Amino acid sequence: MTSRRSLLQYALATGLTVGWTGAASASIGPPVTLEQLAHAARRVVRGVALQASSRWVEGHRGRRIVTTTRVRIDDRIGGDAASELLVETLGGQVGRTGQVVHGEALLLIGQPCFLFLTSLSDAVQTVAHFAQGHFPLREAQGALRVQPSPRVAELTAGRSALGELRGLDVRQARARILEAWNHARR
């Protein structure tokens, strides 16, 4: 089982920047392919964030804010999943203090999305490869279409899952995700 402290240490070690709300900064990272996401994930779902709560956690570098979001699962694409899951992300707001973790998934309440998930524990999931494993769906051209996660890092050159899925409707994106999932399990 991965501890929250380990997750925070990983985020800091991989160069994700942590800043206070209102800071104007971003991150740059290597792109992750759809196949790499499928391989890293324990499950892939389409769901909707229903409710979120943030709290302080202690880490070796001090206190950090972590947000836990309850997600209703509308479609199980790969792996097993209950009808609802708890997904933990770095950053959030507690009282008047907010923390932004650039490159981390930002699950917005009421917004449908595809999620590539790994397990932090039996009860809690996290998004594989941070924001690169989160694909919000928004209405465009008469259909729900894949959009980039709000805090996805600027990607360096190369093939990416976002490049493969961006702009596809739900049915097209699901087919590509399922193909990558099945290929990763061979």
How many domains, in total, are found in the chain?
1
Q: How far apart are CA 45 and CA 115, in angstroms?
A: 5
Q: pTM to 2 decimals?
A: 0.84
Region of poorest pLDDT, from 20-24, 31-35, 51-55, 73-77: 20-24
> In this predicted model, what pLDDT tens digit does every residue of 117-132 receive, in sequence order?
999 888 999 999 999 9
Task: Judge contact between 70 and 49, C-beta under 8 A.
Answer: yes
Q: Are 92 and 119 in contact, with CB atoms under 8 Å apart?
A: no
Is 9:71 a contact under the CB 8 Å cutoff?
no
> Which residues constitute the domain of residue 119?
4-184
CA quadruple 46, 53, 166, 115: dihedral positive or negative?
Answer: negative
C-alpha span between 143 and 131 (Å, rounded): 23
Report the C-alpha gap between 85 and 117 in whole angstroms.
10
The span from the CA of 85 to the CA of 152, in Å, is 22
CATH number, position 99: 2.40.50.120
Could you report the per-residue pLDDT of 90-106, keeping only the tens digit for each? 999 999 999 999 999 99
21 CA to centre of own chain = 19
DSSP at 133: G
Strands 92-94 and 84-90: unpaired
Closest CA to 97 of 69, 128, 67, 134: 67
pLDDT above 50: residue 16: no
Question: Which residues, 6 or more positions from 76, have their beta carbon under 8 angstroms from its beta carbon?
Answer: 43, 45
